[in-house]
Amino acid sequence: MTLKDQIGFLSKIFAWGEKMKRIGILTSGGDAPGMNAAVRAVARKAMHEGLEVYGINYGYAGLVAGDIFKMDPITVGDKIQRGGTFLYSARYPEFAQVEGQLKGIEQLNKFGIEALVVIGGDGSYHGALRLTEHGYNAIGLPGTIDNDIPFTDQTIGFDTAVNTVLESIDRIRDTAASHERTFVVEVMGRGAGDIALWAGVAGGAQDIIIPERDFDVKAVAEKLRASREHGQKHAIIVLAEGVMHADEFSEKLSEYGDFHLRSTVLGHVVRGGSPTASDRVLASRLGSKAVELLLEGKGGVALGIEKNEIIAHDMLDLFNHKHHAMLDLYDLNEDLAY
């Protein structure tokens, strides 16, 4: 029996059993604006369906440690507008091992938790899949600012992150224009260039440097030089952190001319802040759908949004695919930047 067959078999066993009574919620990996909105949606939807809901602090580390508490409607009150995650998050690589998983299952049994909603990135999904294989249906919600999860147009937190970067770019442009400087603005995103891509287009960047596209520093310098000849004395270059550090890029660029360079690393400020309306609505839709699927006895799936429809994919499929950035935006910026 293949792993996929095993997951499907376990899900059917769950569906044929007694009606589910308790579910758990945890957030894992890097925090993202909208995670609290997702927790709220899962909790409120589950309570509406007559289920008991348990919050798990500090992700899989808290699951293994038994840092678990019963939630009520007040627990998730006034949380939808807050950034970060009030359930906290922690890295726990030990959960990749069977020993760690069995310790987590021991706690699930202790609290009578029959299914789990995991909000995080692909690393978090691996843990959710392992629990489903052990007979505890788990569903993953894409909570990461990086937007690097396959089979979803956007992840929870991405829209807020882009808008945070955009606000910074707008402010930096004022200084760039005042002093006729070129600013290299480094943004988060791990190995994905989506934040840089979207914020760069929206911010009118002179150039966008992302891992998904090869670049030539000399060619960037020539574009800057041509832009100055056309009368544009300042410029913004948006750099994805997965390429290189902003200081390193600036050093390489300065070898081809004096562009009055300054580098700025936005860093973790991009993760924080109150989630946008888009992220709150996305998180709410995903959270509600997760409860519906668990009530149907389904697990081992990850939810996403495609063409404004909430969809579910087998987690195994996600691990065999890679998210692809909207490179047409890159080409668009090339056409618009002078």
Q: 147 lies in a domain?
A: yes
At CA 52, angle to CA 50 and CA 55, rounded to 5?
140
* Measured distance CA(18)–CA(289) in Å, rounded: 21
309, burial (CB in 10 Å: exposed 0-12, middle 13-18, buried 19+) = exposed
From the candidates 146, 148, 194, 207, give the one annotated as an active-site residue: 146
- Domain of 148 in residue numbering reads as 3-156+275-319
- Asked whether residue 235 falls in the same domain as residue 297, the answer is no
- Asked whether residue 252 falls in the same domain as residue 177, the answer is yes
- Asked whether residue 136 falls in the same domain as residue 164, the answer is no
- Asked whether residue 96 falls in the same domain as residue 175, the answer is no
Single out the residue in 238, 255, 272 at which a domain terminates. 272
Q: For every one of its 338 residues, what pLDDT tens digit does the chain have, with 9 covering 90 and above?
A: 454 444 444 444 444 346 899 999 999 999 999 999 999 999 999 999 999 999 999 999 999 999 999 999 999 999 999 999 999 999 888 999 999 999 999 999 999 999 999 999 988 999 999 999 999 999 999 999 999 999 999 999 999 999 999 999 999 999 999 999 999 999 999 999 999 999 999 999 999 999 999 999 999 999 999 989 888 899 999 999 999 999 999 999 999 999 999 999 999 999 999 999 999 999 999 999 999 999 999 999 999 999 999 999 999 888 888 888 788 999 999 999 87
The total domain count for the chain is 2
- Asked whether residue 35 falls in the same domain as residue 102, the answer is yes
Q: 218 lies in a domain?
A: yes
Structure tokens given for 136: 């505890």
* Measured distance CA(256)–CA(247) in Å, rounded: 15
Structure tokens given for 46: 């589950």
- Asked whether residue 198 falls in the same domain as residue 168, the answer is yes
Q: Are 224 and 206 in contact (CB under 8 A)?
A: yes
- Asked whether residue 250 falls in the same domain as residue 279, the answer is no
Indicate if 5 belongs to the active site.
Answer: no
| CATH (domain of 241) | 3.40.50.460
Q: 97 lies in a domain?
A: yes
Structure tokens given for 104: 């987590």
- Asked whether residue 101 falls in the same domain as residue 171, the answer is no
Q: Pick out the residues of the known binding site for Mg(2+).
A: 122
- Asked whether residue 178 falls in the same domain as residue 243, the answer is yes
- Asked whether residue 136 falls in the same domain as residue 284, the answer is yes
Structure tokens given for 38: 């997702």
Q: Pick out the residues of the known binding site for substrate.
A: 144-146, 181, 188-190, 241, 262, 268-271
Q: Pick out the residues of the known binding site for ATP.
A: 30, 91-92, 121-124
- Asked whether residue 171 falls in the same domain as residue 260, the answer is yes
Q: 132 lies in a domain?
A: yes
Amino acid in the structure at residue 148: D
| CATH (domain of 148) | 3.40.50.450
pLDDT of residue 323: 83
- Asked whether residue 25 falls in the same domain as residue 109, the answer is yes
**Alpha helices in 69-150, H assignment, sequence order:** 98-111, 122-133
